[in-house]
Amino acid sequence: MNGFDVILEKVGVLGFLALIGFLAYRLRWLGPEVKQGLQKLVFNITLPLMIFTTISRFEFTDELVGSGLVVFILTYFFLGFQYFLGWVSVKLLKIPSKRRNVHILHTAFGNVVFLGYPLIDTLFPGTPALFYAVIYHLAQMTIIWTLGIYQLSGDQGKGLFGNLKKLINPNTIAFAIGMLFMVFKISLPNTVDQTFRGLAGSNLYISLIYIGMLMADFKVKKGFYGGEAFTIVLNKLVIAPLAVLFLLYVLVFDLGFYLPLPAIGAMVMQTAMPCMAIMVILARNYGADENSAMVNVFLTTLMSLITLPAIFWLLQCLWI
């Protein structure tokens, strides 16, 4: 089995898990209350435990901290590039005002938690890649709850500090505690450790079943906005990750800038993630076009089953 087949198999597992959730929801074996419960289970328990158990086992080094800071800074640059791609698309396609901000923000922000964390943990086992993936997410969240909310709501938002409070959640808390355990080399009792790791190991399956249910719940009622949606597919899943991959290649091989492979892989794959699902809820809450947000999430998630293996294969060809 060659490298591309291995990648395709790993992402294929994610696709089948999502398909199980999709069918279970469409066949009404699982209802909306289960979907809501799974979302809370993942966000409040299994994801935080996956972050904590992964980060706490790393060896604390100056290199890890330094490269984490570099990832944080580079993420802002990459998100700015994706934001620019969305802005150009809006101008070229002359997208109406109600859908404009959704299009721009969806081009920039991806599903880096529910899909990104499990996928990166699977593709880079035993490495600090998840640590860098969380760093990427933290940078993204600082923009979503400030500039993102401002764009969607105008002057109806809660202000800068009101939105920044949302950065304090079970996942960021787990990251902070995991960092403390890593720095001070703290170990948990064996029973607790096994329990936490067992729950963390279930995150992949629960997250993807939830994503499948989320996709099954999307109903296009007001039009498909095909040109806009497929432009986001091109920008978010192809142009942006290829541009990030090219820039990192130039930084490392032409300019001699050092970055460990797990950091490079995490940034490239996080950039390649499909549109952020929470944007549907934010669009609904702040009067933007909820339907276009649903279409963007559904189509990019579906197409990512093809693009994610291709991007990871290219990453391996260049670095391994």
pLDDT of the residue at 225: 60
* Number of domains observed in the structure of the chain: 1
- Kindly give, in sequence order, each residue whose CB lies less than 8 Å from that of residue 238, ignoring residues fewer than 6 positions away: 307
pTM of the model: 0.82
In this structure, what token pair is assigned to residue 55?
Answer: 């980060």
Q: Does residue 32 carry a pLDDT above 80?
A: yes
Given a contact cutoff of 8 angstroms between Cβ atoms, the answer to whether 85 and 274 are in contact is no
Mean pLDDT score, 90-110: 89
Given a contact cutoff of 8 angstroms between Cβ atoms, the answer to whether 106 and 39 are in contact is no
pLDDT of the residue at 1: 47
List the domain range (segments joined by +) for residue 106: 3-319
pLDDT of the residue at 211: 80
Classified as helix, coil or strand, 35 is helix
* Per-residue pLDDT reduced to its tens digit, 280-308: 767 766 777 777 887 888 888 889 888 99
pLDDT of the residue at 28: 92
Q: What is the mean pLDDT of the chain?
A: 85
Q: Does residue 195 carry a pLDDT above 50?
A: yes
* Per-residue pLDDT reduced to its tens digit, 236-250: 999 999 999 999 999
Highest mean pLDDT among 146-150, 261-265, 278-282: 261-265
Confidence at 82, pLDDT banded by 50, 70, 90: very high
Classified as helix, coil or strand, 74 is helix
| Residue 131: φ, ψ to 5° | -55, -45
pLDDT of the residue at 214: 78
CATH assignment at residue 56: 1.20.1530.20
Given a contact cutoff of 8 angstroms between Cβ atoms, the answer to whether 125 and 54 are in contact is no
